[in-house]
């Protein structure tokens, strides 16, 4: 018996240290509960097994006829699959073995050891030194500041990108990496900054944009979570702040903004993926973003980059009411996704988030909008579930290129406002 226990312990340690090892045999399933009975079954399963909701990110957001992507731990797969059959709940297997796809994610070889490779995912330390480097190498275009510290005392940085003119220019605020596991998001913010410095003076539309606008770019908002997703749990979503009276860690940064905080589509339970926090702006990372938007004069647009689902969303999320400028936002979103589609044919849906994805309060887009930034958008980048959060590196380039076209459309629209 003792030997068996020791062996078990040994196996656990080994599995825990092999990257992806902890997800060997896990599957990602897509299902569509069609009635209350099937939904109830899903609730029971989620109650007994620690299943990881990918899209939507938590059980509360599941409704009948909405599609649900779940990562099911290896040990439960056959059990759950057979129970699904019994309940008449049809399901597709999106990912057959999470570990395999996790390894495939790094499918890009690093050919250059000297130049920063924008077609690879990067750890936080690399991103941090990249920021310092690109800022010092491009002093006429870029400056960087610390906007705050994370729960684990790391610096949160912002890059200001735009031609220095001395005047205050209309500004677009863009953040990435609010949710830790959505790695394509920080990759896009880095791509955007690269494109800006490389095309300034060469590409006419980018040059005009940078002459007339400033961009404030936060490449990684949730730094602690991002690091955790690299080192401990690839599918971590929340911040890493400790919660009172429980071992469950973290708050959903996109439920922690002061926009009808925790009224809908968010959870009061710290163990849930959509935990709204102990109060609005309880998270230092959220406060850091909100403070910049409050203090910086001239912010005309807010853009936040997430994944996955291929959507361009705008307020409101906390209510089904439409904003006063709904028609204008819808027009911009339609044109932006049209521009995006032109490159590789990638289809995006668009509209007010409460209708298009699900109602939820405390989001950054709604907060920025109500604060007065009337052009406020959330992008959910590639894909639609084939890889989900494990989007292979070979898709970084096409994803970023097409997204640039959407951002370019929005930025041009803002630059041309009277
Ligand atoms: O639920 C979210 O926070 C976003 N989706 S994600 O899968 N990346 O987590 C959607 C955000 C839409 N906007 C608001 N809910 N305010
Ligand atoms: Zn790297
Ligand atoms: Zn997200």
Ligand 1 atom at shortest distance from the alpha carbon of 54:
7
Task: Determine contact, residues 331/339, Cβ cutoff 8 Å.
Answer: no
Q: Scanning the structure block, which residue is given the tokens 């490389």?
A: 198
Distance 308 CA to ligand 2 centre (A): 22
Q: Which domains does the chain have, with CATH numbers?
A: 2-104 (3.30.70.340), 124-415 (3.40.630.10)
Give the atom of ligand 1 at the shortest distance from the alpha carbon of 313: 12
Please answer whether residues 222 and 183 qualify as being in contact, where contact means their C-beta atoms are separated by less than 8 angstroms.
no
Q: What is the 3-state secondary structure (H, E, C) of the chain?
A: CHHHHHHHHHHHHHHHHCCCHHHCCCEEEEECCCCHHHHHHHHHHHHHCCCEEEECCCHHHCCCCCCEEEEECHHHHHHHHHHHHHHCCCEEEEECCHHHHHHHCCCCCCCCCCCCCCCCCCCHHHHHHHHHHHHHHCCCCEEEEEEEECCCCCEEEEEEECCCCCCCCCEEEEEECCCCCCCHHHHHHHHHHHHHHHHCCCCHHHHHHHHHCEEEEECCCCHHHHHHHHHCCCCCCCCCCECCCCCCECCCHHHCCCCCCCCCCCECCCCCCCECCCCCCCCHHHHHHHHHHHHCCCEEEEEEEEECCCEEEECCCCCCCCCCCHHHHHHHHHHHHHHHHHHHCCCCEEEEHHHHCCCCCCCHHHHHHHHCCCEEEEEEECCCCCCHHHCCHHHHHHHHHHHHHHHHHHHHHHHCCC
120: phi then psi, degrees, rounded to nearest 5:
-125, 155
Q: Which of 238, 254, 286 to mutate to test the pocket of ligand 1 (most atoms within 8 A of CB)?
A: 254
* pLDDT per residue as tens digits for the range 306-357: 999 999 999 999 999 999 999 999 999 999 999 999 999 999 999 999 999 9
The catalytic site residues sit at 380
Q: Which residues pair with 249 in a beta bridge?
A: 242
Query: Nearest ligand, CA of residue 112?
Result: 2
Nearest to 255 by CA among 278, 233, 271, 235: 278
Helix axes 124-137, 223-231, angle to 10 degrees: 130
225/148 Cα distance (integer angstroms) = 15
Residue 149: both structure tokens together: 């510290």
365-380 exposure pattern, b = at least 16 Cβ within 10 A, e = fewer: bbbbbbbebbbbbbbb
Pairing of strands 142-149, 91-95: unpaired
Is the CB of residue 28 below 6 angstroms from any atom belonging to ligand 1? no
Q: Ligand 3 mean position to 55 CA, how many Å?
A: 10
CA atoms within 13 A on the CB side of 146: 9
Give dist(CA 155, CA 224) in Å, integer.
10
Is the CB–ligand 1 distance for residue 289 below 6 Å?
no
| Residue ranges of the chain with per-residue pLDDT less than 70 | 1-19
Q: Which of 59, 352, 360 should be mutated for ligand 1, with most atoms under 8 A from CB? A: 360
Least Cα distance to 229 among 175, 277, 188, 182 occurs for: 182
Report the pLDDT value the prediction gives residue 7, as an integer from 0 to 100.
46
Residue 19: the pLDDT is 63
Instruction: Spell out the residues 6+ positions from residue 184 whose beta carbon is closer than 8 angstroms to its own.
Output: 307, 308, 381, 382, 391, 395, 396, 399
How far is ligand 1, taken at its centre, from the CA of residue 285, in Å? Answer: 16
Neighbours of ion ligand 3 (CB under 5 A): 179, 182, 306
Residue to substitute in 357, 366, 379, 389 for testing ligand 1 pocket (most ligand atoms within 8 angstroms of CB): 357
Which pLDDT does position 16 carry in this prediction? 42
Alpha carbon of 139 to ligand 2 centroid (Å)? 24
Q: Write the burial class of residue 10 (CB in 10 Å: 0-12 exposed, 13-18 middle, 19+ buried).
A: exposed
Distance 256 CA to ligand 3 centre (A): 13
Nearest to 306 by CA among 157, 176, 156: 176
């Amino acid at each position: 018996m003792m030997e068996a226990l020791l062996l078990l312990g040994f196996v656990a340690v080994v599995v825990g240290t092999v990257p992806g090892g902890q997800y060997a045999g896990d599957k990602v399933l897509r299902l569509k509960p069609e009635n209350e009975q099937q939904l109830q079954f899903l609730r029971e399963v989620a109650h007994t097994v620690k299943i990881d909701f990918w899209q939507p990110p938590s059980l509360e957001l599941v409704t009948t006829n909405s599609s649900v992507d779940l990562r099911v731990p290896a040990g439960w797969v056959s059990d759950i699959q057979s129970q699904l059959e019994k309940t008449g709940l049809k399901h597709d297997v999106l990912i057959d073995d999470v570990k395999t796809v996790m390894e495939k994610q790094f499918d890009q070889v690093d050919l250059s050891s000297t130049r920063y490779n924008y077609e690879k995912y990067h750890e936080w330390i690399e991103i941090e030194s990249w920021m310092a480097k690109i800022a010092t190498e491009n002093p006429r275009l870029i400056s960087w500041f610390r906007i705050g510290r994370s729960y684990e005392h790391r610096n949160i940085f912002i890059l200001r990108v735009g031609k220095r003119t001395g005047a205050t220019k209309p500004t677009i605020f863009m953040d990435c990496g609010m949710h830790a596991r959505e790695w394509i998001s920080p990759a896009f913010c880095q791509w955007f900054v690269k494109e800006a410095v490389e095309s300034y003076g060469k590409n006419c539309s980018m040059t005009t944009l940078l002459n007339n606008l400033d961009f404030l770019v936060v490449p990684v908002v949730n730094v602690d979570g991002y690091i955790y997703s690299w080192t401990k749990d690839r599918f971590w979503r929340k911040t890493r702040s400790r919660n009172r009276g429980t071992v469950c860690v973290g708050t959903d940064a996109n439920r922690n903004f002061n926009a009808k905080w925790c009224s809908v589509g968010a959870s009061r339970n710290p163990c849930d993926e959509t935990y709204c926090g102990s109060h609005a702006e309880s998270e230092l990372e959220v406060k850091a973003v909100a403070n910049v938007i409050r203090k910086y004069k001239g912010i005309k647009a807010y853009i936040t980059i997430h994944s996955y689902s291929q959507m361009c969303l705008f307020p409101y999320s906390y209510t089904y009411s439409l904003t006063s400028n709904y028609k204008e936002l819808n027009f911009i979103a339609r044109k932006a996704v049209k521009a995006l589609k032109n490159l590789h044919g990638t289809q995006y849906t668009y509209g007010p988030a409460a209708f298009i994805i699900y109602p939820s309060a405390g989001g950054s887009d709604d907060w920025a909008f109500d604060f007065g930034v009337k052009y406020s958008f959330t992008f959910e980048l590639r894909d639609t579930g084939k890889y989900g959060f494990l989007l292979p590196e070979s898709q970084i380039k096409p994803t970023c290129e097409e997204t640039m076209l959407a951002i370019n459309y929005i930025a041009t629209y803002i630059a041309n406002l009277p």
